[in-house]
């Protein structure tokens, strides 16, 4: 979380060092083979009930070594494993691993493996990216254990492990999964671009959208998957891809382009919250979201007119992330943003 005297970008989290080594290994062995060696979920198929099997629990929960007999199959069945891409992407919150999965079917498979414990859960068509947080990386645990035992040959690892597991930053990772289809399942014709242009822009929006969620998590200690965070994350992605913010694009991505008419299957349906909002409560929230999107366009024009240097521009998202939906949708949204931006600026001095 932000503290007095912080500076951006934030320093990398501890998991980044391990992923640097994975990227080096992938240059020789390939991305899929490397991930299968490091992430045990890649060694199991997606299958109903697999997360309850002893073999799966032994490897993913207790950290047992994956063996040919424990795999319960040849691992994930991917259509094009050879085209997976792996890299570290810089953000104002530090670098984060990114796995690009060009084939939509493979994207769904890997999301199920890493987000749903290899269970065949439904992945919405409008979902083209996700951030994995709190991933228990047993490879990092084993590295630490080996180093500790070398330094303490007569030590009791079981006692050290009790201390170690309380320090989640030592073994929990975060990563981003990206597909390469059209963003929010919106076709290029709706955007006024050709297919290649829209695919390239879609990838940028997805990447920066998920990086915005990661930034929120590091700056504020939490990452909500609600409509307000989607508004801010799409803002970040749209600006990165198009060079400026357009509220009409965000509404199109959400399925609200003809608001108050709602497009069936629009992305807004993915954010009814848990427990689900009533129809009346959802409509009230959507009204706030639409107004906030319009106000955000006004703020963006003010930002580009008054904060031209990159240092100032870097603070825009952190300032927005301190606001509430009601503030951003209110009549004094620009004033509220300016106050938030000033507070962030003072914290960083």
**Dihedral angle computed from the Cα positions of residues 182, 185, 190 and 194, in that order, rounded to the nearest 10 degrees:** 20
Residue range 301-337, pLDDT digits in tens? 888 765 444 446 788 999 999 999 999 999 999 999 9
DSSP state at residue 259: T
Write the DSSP string, 179-191: --S-GGG--HHHH
Q: Per-residue pLDDT averaged across 287-296, rounded?
A: 97
Confidence of residue 6 (pLDDT cuts 50, 70, 90): low
Tell me the average pLDDT of the chain: 91
Helix (H) or strand (E) holding 257: none
Cα 110 to chain centroid, rounded: 14
Q: What percent of the chain shows pLDDT beyond 90? A: 77
Domain spans in the chain, listed from the N-terminal domain onward:
12-180, 199-349
Q: Sign of torsion, CA 186 289 231 114?
A: negative
Residue identified by tokens 């919250």 is 273
Give the residue from 258, 236, 233, 240 showing the smallest Cα distance to 248.
258
**With 0-12 CB in 10 A as exposed, 13-18 as middle and 19+ as buried, what is 177?**
buried
Residue range 57-96, pLDDT digits in tens? 999 999 998 876 555 667 899 999 999 999 999 999 999 9
Confidence of residue 349 (pLDDT cuts 50, 70, 90): very low
Write down the pLDDT at residue 50. Answer: 95
Write down the pLDDT at residue 249. Answer: 96
Residue range 190-237, pLDDT digits in tens? 999 999 999 999 999 999 999 999 999 999 988 777 899 999 999 999
Residue range 172-203, pLDDT digits in tens? 999 999 999 899 889 999 999 999 999 999 99
Give the residue from 88, 83, 74 showing the smallest Cα distance to 105.
83
Q: What's the CA gap between 348 and 95, in Å, rounded?
A: 20
Backbone φ and ψ of 231, nearest 5°: -60, -50
The pTM (predicted TM-score) of the whole model is 0.91
> Token digits for 27?
């240059």
Write down the pLDDT at residue 126. Answer: 77
């Amino acid at each position: 979380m932000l503290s007095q005297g912080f500076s951006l970008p934030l320093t990398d989290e501890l998991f980044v060092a391990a992923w640097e080594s994975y990227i080096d290994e992938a240059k020789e062995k390939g991305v899929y083979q490397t991930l299968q060696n490091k992430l045990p979920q890649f060694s199991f198929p997606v299958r109903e009930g697999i997360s309850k099997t002893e073999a799966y629990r032994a490897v993913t929960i207790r950290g047992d070594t994956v063996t040919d007999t424990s795999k319960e199959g040849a691992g994930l069945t991917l259509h094009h494993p050879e085209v997976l891409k792996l890299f570290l992407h810089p953000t104002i919150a530090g670098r984060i691993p990114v796995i690009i999965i060009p084939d939509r079917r493979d994207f769904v498979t890997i999301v199920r493996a890493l987000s749903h414990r290899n269970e065949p859960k439904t992945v919405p068509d409008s979902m083209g990216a996700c951030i994995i947080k709190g991933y228990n990386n047993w490879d990092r645990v084993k590295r630490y254990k080996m180093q500790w035992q070398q330094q303490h040959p007569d030590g009791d690892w079981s006692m050290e492990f009790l201390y170690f597991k309380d320090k989640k930053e030592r073994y929990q990772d975060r990563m981003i999964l990206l597909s390469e289809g059209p963003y929010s399942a919106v076709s290029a014709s709706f955007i006024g671009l050709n297919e290649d242009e829209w695919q390239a822009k879609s990838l940028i929006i997805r990447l920066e959208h998920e990086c915005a969620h990661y930034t929120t998590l590091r700056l504020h200690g939490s990452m909500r998957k609600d409509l307000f965070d989607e508004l801010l994350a799409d803002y970040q992605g749209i600006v990165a891809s198009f060079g400026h913010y357009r509220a009409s694009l965000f509404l199109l991505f959400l399925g609200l382009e003809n608001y108050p008419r709602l497009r069936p299957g629009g992305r807004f349906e993915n954010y009814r919250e848990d427990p689900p909002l009533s129809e009346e409560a959802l409509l009230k929230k959507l009204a706030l979201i639409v107004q906030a999107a319009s106000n955000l366009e006004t703020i963006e024009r003010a930002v580009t007119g008054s904060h031209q240097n990159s240092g100032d521009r870097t603070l825009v998202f952190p300032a927005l992330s301190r606001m509430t939906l009601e503030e951003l949708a209110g009549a004094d949204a620009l004033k509220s943003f300016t106050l938030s931006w000033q507070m962030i600026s003072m914290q960083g001095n």
